[in-house]
A = this chain, B = another copy of it.
Amino acid sequence: MTPTVKAILANYESDNPGVKANLYRMLMQGRLGGTGKMIILPVDQGFEHGPARSFAINPAAYDPHYHYQLAIDAGLSAYAAPLGMLEAGADSFAGQIPTILKVNSSNSWATGINQAVTGGVDDALRLGCAAIGFTIYPGADDVFDMMEEIRELAAEAKSVGIATVIWSYPRGGKLSKDGELALDVGAYAAHMAALLGAHIIKVKLPSDHIEQKDAKKAYAEFDGSTQAKRVAHVVKACFDGRRIVVFSGGAAKGADAVYQDARDIRDGGGNGSIIGRNTFQRPRDEALAMLDKLVDIYQGAE
Protein backbone atom coordinates (compact mmCIF):
# COMPACT_ATOMS: atom_id res chain seq x y z
CA MET A 1 0.00 0.00 0.00
CA THR A 2 1.28 3.41 -0.93
CA PRO A 3 1.23 6.30 1.55
CA THR A 4 -1.33 8.05 -0.66
CA VAL A 5 -3.76 5.17 -0.48
CA LYS A 6 -3.06 4.73 3.20
CA ALA A 7 -3.96 8.38 3.75
CA ILE A 8 -7.19 8.02 1.81
CA LEU A 9 -8.24 4.89 3.66
CA ALA A 10 -7.52 6.62 6.97
CA ASN A 11 -10.35 9.01 6.21
CA TYR A 12 -12.86 6.17 6.39
CA GLU A 13 -12.77 6.16 10.16
CA SER A 14 -15.95 4.24 10.84
CA ASP A 15 -15.54 1.44 8.35
CA ASN A 16 -14.76 -2.14 9.08
CA PRO A 17 -11.79 -3.93 7.50
CA GLY A 18 -14.08 -5.50 4.92
CA VAL A 19 -15.12 -2.17 3.47
CA LYS A 20 -11.58 -0.84 3.66
CA ALA A 21 -10.30 -3.91 1.84
CA ASN A 22 -12.74 -3.28 -0.98
CA LEU A 23 -11.79 0.39 -1.21
CA TYR A 24 -8.16 -0.79 -1.20
CA ARG A 25 -8.89 -3.20 -4.03
CA MET A 26 -10.20 -0.37 -6.19
CA LEU A 27 -7.45 2.06 -5.23
CA MET A 28 -4.67 -0.46 -5.85
CA GLN A 29 -6.12 -1.89 -9.07
CA GLY A 30 -4.75 -1.31 -12.55
CA ARG A 31 -2.43 1.30 -13.87
CA LEU A 32 -3.49 3.99 -11.41
CA GLY A 33 -3.11 1.59 -8.49
CA GLY A 34 -1.56 3.35 -5.53
CA THR A 35 -1.89 6.88 -6.91
CA GLY A 36 -5.15 7.72 -5.19
CA LYS A 37 -6.67 8.33 -8.60
CA MET A 38 -9.30 6.13 -10.22
CA ILE A 39 -10.90 5.56 -13.57
CA ILE A 40 -14.14 3.62 -13.43
CA LEU A 41 -15.94 2.15 -16.43
CA PRO A 42 -19.73 2.36 -15.98
CA VAL A 43 -22.04 0.56 -18.39
CA ASP A 44 -25.61 1.31 -17.39
CA GLN A 45 -26.46 2.92 -20.72
CA GLY A 46 -28.44 -0.14 -21.73
CA PHE A 47 -30.93 0.66 -19.00
CA GLU A 48 -30.80 4.40 -19.54
CA HIS A 49 -30.95 4.58 -23.33
CA GLY A 50 -31.55 1.05 -24.57
CA PRO A 51 -29.20 -1.34 -26.33
CA ALA A 52 -29.13 0.12 -29.85
CA ARG A 53 -28.47 3.70 -28.78
CA SER A 54 -25.74 2.37 -26.50
CA PHE A 55 -24.04 -0.30 -28.52
CA ALA A 56 -24.99 -0.16 -32.23
CA ILE A 57 -22.16 2.25 -32.89
CA ASN A 58 -19.67 -0.37 -31.62
CA PRO A 59 -21.50 -3.70 -31.87
CA ALA A 60 -18.87 -5.67 -29.99
CA ALA A 61 -20.14 -3.84 -26.92
CA TYR A 62 -23.43 -5.76 -27.00
CA ASP A 63 -21.47 -8.54 -25.31
CA PRO A 64 -21.10 -8.05 -21.55
CA HIS A 65 -17.66 -9.67 -21.70
CA TYR A 66 -16.47 -6.81 -23.89
CA HIS A 67 -16.74 -4.32 -21.03
CA TYR A 68 -15.05 -6.49 -18.43
CA GLN A 69 -12.19 -7.05 -20.88
CA LEU A 70 -11.97 -3.38 -21.80
CA ALA A 71 -11.70 -2.36 -18.16
CA ILE A 72 -9.07 -4.99 -17.51
CA ASP A 73 -7.01 -4.30 -20.62
CA ALA A 74 -7.08 -0.56 -20.03
CA GLY A 75 -5.88 -1.07 -16.49
CA LEU A 76 -8.86 0.68 -14.95
CA SER A 77 -9.82 0.77 -11.28
CA ALA A 78 -13.28 -0.79 -11.41
CA TYR A 79 -16.20 -1.74 -13.64
CA ALA A 80 -19.76 -0.73 -12.73
CA ALA A 81 -22.94 -2.21 -14.25
CA PRO A 82 -26.45 -3.42 -13.47
CA LEU A 83 -27.21 -6.93 -12.28
CA GLY A 84 -27.56 -8.83 -15.54
CA MET A 85 -24.46 -7.29 -17.10
CA LEU A 86 -22.31 -8.36 -14.14
CA GLU A 87 -23.88 -11.80 -13.86
CA ALA A 88 -23.03 -12.49 -17.50
CA GLY A 89 -19.29 -12.29 -16.87
CA ALA A 90 -19.01 -12.82 -13.14
CA ASP A 91 -17.23 -16.14 -13.42
CA SER A 92 -15.02 -15.50 -16.44
CA PHE A 93 -13.56 -12.38 -14.90
CA ALA A 94 -13.82 -13.21 -11.22
CA GLY A 95 -11.15 -11.37 -9.30
CA GLN A 96 -9.60 -9.71 -12.34
CA ILE A 97 -11.29 -6.33 -11.85
CA PRO A 98 -13.24 -4.91 -8.91
CA THR A 99 -16.91 -4.60 -9.80
CA ILE A 100 -19.58 -2.19 -8.64
CA LEU A 101 -23.15 -3.45 -8.78
CA LYS A 102 -25.44 -0.60 -9.81
CA VAL A 103 -28.45 -1.39 -7.63
CA ASN A 104 -30.96 1.07 -9.02
CA SER A 105 -31.80 2.00 -12.58
CA SER A 106 -34.07 4.21 -14.64
CA ASN A 107 -34.90 4.10 -18.34
CA SER A 108 -35.87 6.38 -21.21
CA TRP A 109 -39.58 5.80 -20.72
CA ALA A 110 -39.76 6.66 -17.03
CA THR A 111 -42.80 8.80 -16.26
CA GLY A 112 -41.44 10.02 -12.91
CA ILE A 113 -38.06 11.16 -11.63
CA ASN A 114 -37.00 8.09 -9.74
CA GLN A 115 -35.32 4.74 -10.31
CA ALA A 116 -36.20 1.13 -9.63
CA VAL A 117 -34.14 -0.83 -7.14
CA THR A 118 -32.86 -3.62 -9.38
CA GLY A 119 -30.16 -5.20 -7.25
CA GLY A 120 -29.29 -5.85 -3.64
CA VAL A 121 -26.42 -6.39 -1.28
CA ASP A 122 -27.08 -10.11 -1.45
CA ASP A 123 -26.48 -9.91 -5.20
CA ALA A 124 -23.29 -7.92 -4.67
CA LEU A 125 -22.00 -10.55 -2.27
CA ARG A 126 -22.72 -13.53 -4.48
CA LEU A 127 -21.16 -11.75 -7.47
CA GLY A 128 -18.03 -10.84 -5.53
CA CYS A 129 -18.53 -7.10 -6.01
CA ALA A 130 -16.39 -4.51 -4.25
CA ALA A 131 -19.20 -1.97 -3.99
CA ILE A 132 -22.80 -1.14 -4.68
CA GLY A 133 -23.72 1.93 -6.72
CA PHE A 134 -26.90 3.93 -6.26
CA THR A 135 -28.30 7.05 -7.92
CA ILE A 136 -30.14 9.79 -6.04
CA TYR A 137 -31.92 12.70 -7.71
CA PRO A 138 -31.67 15.59 -5.21
CA GLY A 139 -34.49 18.02 -5.95
CA ALA A 140 -36.93 15.39 -7.19
CA ASP A 141 -40.25 14.80 -5.45
CA ASP A 142 -39.21 11.22 -4.71
CA VAL A 143 -35.72 11.95 -3.40
CA PHE A 144 -36.64 11.18 0.21
CA ASP A 145 -37.68 7.69 -0.87
CA MET A 146 -34.43 7.27 -2.77
CA MET A 147 -32.43 8.45 0.24
CA GLU A 148 -34.23 5.98 2.48
CA GLU A 149 -33.49 3.19 0.02
CA ILE A 150 -29.76 3.92 -0.09
CA ARG A 151 -29.66 4.43 3.69
CA GLU A 152 -30.89 0.87 4.13
CA LEU A 153 -28.76 -0.60 1.35
CA ALA A 154 -25.63 1.22 2.52
CA ALA A 155 -26.09 0.12 6.13
CA GLU A 156 -26.47 -3.46 4.98
CA ALA A 157 -23.50 -3.17 2.63
CA LYS A 158 -21.27 -1.69 5.33
CA SER A 159 -22.19 -4.48 7.69
CA VAL A 160 -20.91 -7.09 5.21
CA GLY A 161 -17.83 -5.24 4.04
CA ILE A 162 -19.12 -3.82 0.74
CA ALA A 163 -18.37 -0.20 -0.19
CA THR A 164 -21.01 2.32 -1.29
CA VAL A 165 -20.84 4.60 -4.33
CA ILE A 166 -23.51 7.28 -4.73
CA TRP A 167 -24.29 8.88 -8.08
CA SER A 168 -25.76 12.26 -7.03
CA TYR A 169 -27.60 13.89 -9.94
CA PRO A 170 -29.75 16.94 -9.11
CA ARG A 171 -32.97 16.91 -11.09
CA GLY A 172 -36.62 17.91 -10.89
CA GLY A 173 -38.62 19.89 -8.37
CA LYS A 174 -37.53 23.49 -8.02
CA LEU A 175 -34.34 23.10 -10.06
CA SER A 176 -34.05 24.68 -13.51
CA LYS A 177 -32.47 22.75 -16.37
CA ASP A 178 -29.34 24.91 -16.11
CA GLY A 179 -29.46 24.48 -12.39
CA GLU A 180 -28.85 20.77 -12.65
CA LEU A 181 -25.24 21.53 -13.55
CA ALA A 182 -24.84 24.65 -11.44
CA LEU A 183 -21.82 24.85 -9.17
CA ASP A 184 -23.78 25.45 -5.98
CA VAL A 185 -26.18 22.67 -6.87
CA GLY A 186 -23.42 20.20 -7.71
CA ALA A 187 -21.53 20.93 -4.52
CA TYR A 188 -24.72 20.57 -2.50
CA ALA A 189 -25.57 17.29 -4.23
CA ALA A 190 -22.08 15.95 -3.58
CA HIS A 191 -22.31 17.03 0.05
CA MET A 192 -25.63 15.21 0.48
CA ALA A 193 -24.07 12.04 -0.87
CA ALA A 194 -21.27 12.42 1.66
CA LEU A 195 -23.78 12.98 4.47
CA LEU A 196 -25.62 9.83 3.40
CA GLY A 197 -22.45 7.88 4.13
CA ALA A 198 -21.10 7.30 0.62
CA HIS A 199 -17.52 6.11 0.35
CA ILE A 200 -17.21 7.26 -3.24
CA ILE A 201 -19.20 10.15 -4.67
CA LYS A 202 -19.94 10.52 -8.34
CA VAL A 203 -21.14 13.86 -9.70
CA LYS A 204 -21.12 15.73 -12.96
CA LEU A 205 -18.58 18.41 -13.73
CA PRO A 206 -20.25 21.67 -12.66
CA SER A 207 -20.73 24.83 -14.70
CA ASP A 208 -20.09 28.27 -13.24
CA HIS A 209 -23.81 29.00 -12.91
CA ILE A 210 -25.15 29.68 -9.42
CA GLU A 211 -28.73 28.46 -9.18
CA GLN A 212 -29.99 29.15 -5.70
CA LYS A 213 -30.81 32.74 -4.75
CA ASP A 214 -30.08 32.01 -1.13
CA ALA A 215 -26.63 30.74 -2.06
CA LYS A 216 -25.49 33.72 -4.10
CA LYS A 217 -24.08 35.49 -1.07
CA ALA A 218 -22.00 32.47 -0.11
CA TYR A 219 -20.46 32.47 -3.58
CA ALA A 220 -20.04 36.23 -3.88
CA GLU A 221 -16.29 36.08 -3.42
CA PHE A 222 -15.76 32.62 -4.85
CA ASP A 223 -13.62 32.37 -7.96
CA GLY A 224 -15.22 29.69 -10.11
CA SER A 225 -13.75 30.84 -13.36
CA THR A 226 -11.92 27.62 -14.16
CA GLN A 227 -13.19 24.08 -14.16
CA ALA A 228 -10.35 23.01 -11.89
CA LYS A 229 -11.43 25.55 -9.28
CA ARG A 230 -14.97 24.31 -9.49
CA VAL A 231 -13.78 20.74 -9.07
CA ALA A 232 -11.82 21.83 -6.02
CA HIS A 233 -14.96 23.37 -4.56
CA VAL A 234 -16.90 20.14 -5.01
CA VAL A 235 -14.07 18.19 -3.40
CA LYS A 236 -14.14 20.63 -0.49
CA ALA A 237 -17.88 20.09 -0.19
CA CYS A 238 -17.15 16.38 0.30
CA PHE A 239 -15.85 16.73 3.83
CA ASP A 240 -12.87 18.82 2.81
CA GLY A 241 -11.46 16.01 0.71
CA ARG A 242 -12.09 13.20 3.16
CA ARG A 243 -14.21 11.33 0.60
CA ILE A 244 -13.27 10.02 -2.84
CA VAL A 245 -14.97 12.08 -5.56
CA VAL A 246 -15.10 11.06 -9.20
CA PHE A 247 -16.62 12.99 -12.06
CA SER A 248 -18.64 11.72 -14.96
CA GLY A 249 -17.77 12.42 -18.53
CA GLY A 250 -21.25 12.92 -19.88
CA ALA A 251 -22.22 12.23 -23.49
CA ALA A 252 -19.67 11.09 -26.03
CA LYS A 253 -17.60 14.03 -27.17
CA GLY A 254 -14.28 14.95 -28.71
CA ALA A 255 -11.21 13.34 -27.22
CA ASP A 256 -9.54 16.64 -26.43
CA ALA A 257 -12.48 17.72 -24.33
CA VAL A 258 -12.28 14.46 -22.44
CA TYR A 259 -8.59 14.96 -21.76
CA GLN A 260 -9.10 18.52 -20.62
CA ASP A 261 -11.80 17.41 -18.24
CA ALA A 262 -9.39 14.90 -16.73
CA ARG A 263 -6.67 17.50 -16.31
CA ASP A 264 -9.15 19.79 -14.57
CA ILE A 265 -10.33 17.00 -12.30
CA ARG A 266 -6.72 16.18 -11.47
CA ASP A 267 -5.74 19.80 -10.93
CA GLY A 268 -8.78 20.45 -8.80
CA GLY A 269 -7.95 17.53 -6.56
CA GLY A 270 -10.68 15.20 -7.76
CA ASN A 271 -10.02 11.49 -7.56
CA GLY A 272 -10.75 10.61 -11.13
CA SER A 273 -13.22 9.90 -13.88
CA ILE A 274 -16.11 7.60 -14.35
CA ILE A 275 -16.24 7.36 -18.08
CA GLY A 276 -18.62 5.22 -20.08
CA ARG A 277 -20.00 6.33 -23.43
CA ASN A 278 -16.75 8.07 -24.32
CA THR A 279 -15.01 4.72 -24.25
CA PHE A 280 -17.37 1.90 -25.16
CA GLN A 281 -18.96 3.91 -27.96
CA ARG A 282 -15.57 4.22 -29.65
CA PRO A 283 -13.79 1.35 -31.38
CA ARG A 284 -11.82 -0.67 -28.89
CA ASP A 285 -8.43 0.54 -30.09
CA GLU A 286 -9.45 4.17 -29.89
CA ALA A 287 -10.97 3.59 -26.47
CA LEU A 288 -7.82 1.93 -25.20
CA ALA A 289 -5.74 4.77 -26.56
CA MET A 290 -7.98 7.32 -24.91
CA LEU A 291 -7.91 5.49 -21.60
CA ASP A 292 -4.15 5.17 -21.88
CA LYS A 293 -3.85 8.89 -22.23
CA LEU A 294 -6.27 9.49 -19.35
CA VAL A 295 -4.14 7.28 -17.16
CA ASP A 296 -1.14 9.32 -18.14
CA ILE A 297 -2.95 12.52 -17.26
CA TYR A 298 -3.93 11.23 -13.84
CA GLN A 299 -0.36 10.08 -13.32
CA GLY A 300 0.63 13.68 -13.96
CA ALA A 301 2.46 12.90 -17.16
CA GLU A 302 0.41 15.17 -19.42
Chain A residues near B (Cβ < 8 Å): 11-15, 46-47, 49-53, 56-57, 59, 62-64, 82-92, 105, 107-112, 114-120, 122-123, 126-127, 138-141, 143-145, 147-148, 151-152, 155, 159, 170, 173-175, 184, 187-188, 191-192, 194-198, 212, 214-215, 217-219, 222, 233, 236-237, 239-240, 242-243
Contact = CB atoms under 8 A, between A and B. Distances in A.
Contacts of A236: 51, 59, 62
Contact of A239 (B84, B90, B111): B84
A222 B117 CA distance: 33
Contacts of A64: 239-240, 242
B108 A188 contact: yes
A62 B179 CA distance: 23
Given A187-B51, A218-B53, A84 B139 contact: no
Contact of A87 (B14, B109, B192, B237): B14
B191 A83 contact: no
A83 to B, nearest CB: 5
Nearest to A237: B51
Closest 5 CB pairs of A and B: A13-B91, A50-B188, A116-B147, A116-B144, A63-B240
B240 A111 contact: no
Contacts of A127: 14
Most-contacted residue by chain B among A51, A115, A139, A214 (CB, 10 A): A51
Most-contacted residue by chain B among A11, A112, A191 (CB, 10 A): A191
Given A141-B111, A175-B109, A88 B239 contact: yes
